[in-house]
């Protein structure tokens, strides 16, 4: 009886310690949020330069859909989409930069996988672009399908899911290849152009961006096969819940805005005249507003007004209003047959 009682006591003591640990780790949850607020800007990890996703111009101004993801978070937190600093990172460097605290968020065409989400101390906050891996070949090669690539030299970037999918694909098809590996996409394109490889493989969206960098883009073609799923999205450190939610809901707000037909151009009008309760909640005139996220009530208004809704962000950077001219496809709203679906703001 006494032993049982002691065991119970010990159990309760252990449980109390465990919950204290849990509470104290939750108490840490606010650290990135607080630190960002204090320093007055978001430090955002991006690529070293990839048109449409994150690329600097000659004046050092960054643009791209991933850059806009960072700007949306800055608009939500500070009411100022410009309150962002960018850290260019190669694929190999990106997770260490996030883990070490060098950046507050990673927004760098990064694929959400189980391994990354469960073993690197990081958390994916959503999907801003549904992609898949493809192949770019020199048209002279005369290859029409990826199944004809047996024995090819393949240019590829280190530290990517691309490397792993390539190995799987060739193994499954019983084909061999020689990897020609680089750290930066710029080097990969140069190598492809110089004929150091027969084919360049990466996320398909990026093939269109890289193709534009070639001296004669029409000399290269994208093969029809898409060999993987590459859901790309923003990433934060694990256990930092308050910050995680701000990043997650910043993207969701943009998708909701598109669903509701709210744009950067009409949001002021909507604010004055809309009687739609969904629009009123998005704009922060009704409902929970910014409270649960520790943000200003105008958090989503500021995102849409300054960065635009998801569709505007897509078209401007990678879609029909951009040099890439990528169709919405999987990245269209669910109501039009795509996968973008805004979790309810209510």
Ligand X SMILES: N[C@@H](CCC(=O)N[C@@H](CS)C(=O)NCC(=O)O)C(=O)O
Residues in contact with ligand X by CB under 6 A are 47-50, 90-91, 109-111, 157, 160-162, 184-185, 202-203, 206, 230, 232
Task: Name the minimum Å distance from CB 39 to ligand X.
Answer: 25
Shortest Cβ 157–ligand X spacing (Å): 4
Structure tokens at 333: 């709203």
3-state class (DSSP) for residue 257: helix
Distance of CA 326 to the CA centre of its chain: 17
Residue 303 region, left (φ>0) first, then alpha (ψ -120 to 50), else beta?
Answer: alpha
Q: Find the shortest distance in angstroms from Cβ 156 to ligand X.
A: 8
| Least distance between ligand X and beta carbon 21 (Å) | 32
- The residues with which 130 forms a beta bridge, in sequence order, are 231
Nearer to ligand X, 81 or 232 (CB): 232
- Our CB check for ligand X shows the closer of 228 and 256 to be 228
Strand order in the sheet with 199-203: 177-182, 152-157, 199-203, 133-138, 220-222
List all residues 6 or more positions away from 267 whose beta carbon is below 8 Å from its beta carbon.
Answer: 257, 283, 301, 304, 305
State the Cα–Cα distance between residues 86 and 56, nearest whole angstrom: 10
* Residues linked to residue 333 through DSSP beta bridges, in sequence order: 340
In whole angstroms, the minimum distance from the beta carbon of 274 to ligand X comes to: 38
Nearest residue (CB) to ligand X, 50 versus 125: 50
Q: How far is the CB of 160 from ligand X (least distance, A)?
A: 3
Q: Which residues pair with 237 in a beta bridge?
A: 122
- In the complex, what is the shortest distance from the CB of residue 38 to ligand X, in angstroms, rounded to a whole number? 29
Q: Which is nearer to ligand X, 184 or 305 (CB)?
A: 184
Instruction: Using the minimum distance from each CB to ligand X, give the nearer residue, 188 or 256.
Output: 188
Nearest residue (CB) to ligand X, 132 versus 290 = 132
> Residue 80 CB: number of other CB atoms within 10 A?
14
CB of 332 to ligand X, least distance (A): 20
Distance between CA atoms of residues 156 and 271, nearest Å: 48
- Write the DSSP assignment of 152-169 as a string of letters: EEEEEETTSHHHHHHHHH
Q: At what angle do helices 299-306 and 241-260 cross, to 10 degrees?
A: 60
Q: CB-wise, 200 or 279, nearer to ligand X?
A: 200
- The residue among 154 and 253 lying less far from ligand X, judged by its C-beta, is 154
How far apart CA 67 and CA 142 sit, in angstroms, is: 37
Give rounded-to-5 percent helix, strand, coil for the chain: 45, 15, 35
């Amino acid at each position: 009886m006494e032993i049982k009682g002691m065991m119970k006591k010990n159990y309760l003591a252990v449980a109390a310690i465990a919950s204290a640990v849990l509470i104290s780790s939750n108490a840490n949850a606010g650290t990135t949020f607080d630190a960002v607020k204090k320093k007055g800007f978001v430090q955002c990890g991006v690529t070293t330069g990839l048109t449409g996703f994150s690329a600097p111009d000659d004046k050092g101004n960054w643009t791209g859909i991933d850059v806009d993801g960072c700007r949306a978070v800055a608009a939500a937190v500070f009411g100022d989409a410009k309150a962002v600093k960018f850290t260019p990172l190669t694929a190999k460097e990106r997770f260490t930069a996030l883990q070490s605290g060098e950046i507050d968020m990673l927004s760098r065409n990064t694929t959400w996988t189980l391994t990354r989400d469960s073993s690197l101390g990081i958390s994916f906050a959503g999907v801003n672009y549904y992609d898949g891996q493809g192949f770019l070949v020199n048209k002279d090669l005369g290859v029409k399908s990826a199944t004809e690539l047996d024995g090819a030299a393949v240019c590829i970037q280190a530290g990517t899911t691309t490397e792993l999918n390539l190995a799987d694909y060739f193994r499954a098809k019983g084909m061999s290849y020689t990897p020609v590996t680089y750290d930066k996409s710029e080097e990969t394109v140069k190598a492809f152009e110089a004929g150091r490889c027969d084919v360049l493989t990466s996320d398909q969206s990026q093939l269109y961006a890289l193709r534009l960098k070639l001296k004669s883009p029409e000399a290269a073609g994208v093969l029809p096969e898409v060999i993987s799923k590459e859901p790309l999205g923003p990433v934060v450190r694990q256990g930092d819940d308050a910050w995680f939610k701000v990043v997650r809901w910043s993207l969701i707000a943009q998708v909701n805005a598109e669903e509701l037909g709210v744009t950067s151009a009409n949001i002021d009008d909507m604010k004055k005249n809309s009687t739609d309760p969904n629009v009123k909640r998005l704009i922060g005139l009704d409902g929970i507003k910014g409270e649960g996220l520790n943000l200003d009530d105008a958090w989503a208004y500021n995102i849409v007004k300054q960065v635009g809704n998801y569709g505007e962000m897509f078209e401007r950077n990678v879609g029909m209003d951009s040099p890439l001219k990528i169709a919405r496809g999987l990245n269209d709203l669910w109501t039009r047959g795509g996968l973008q679906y805004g979790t309810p703001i209510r």
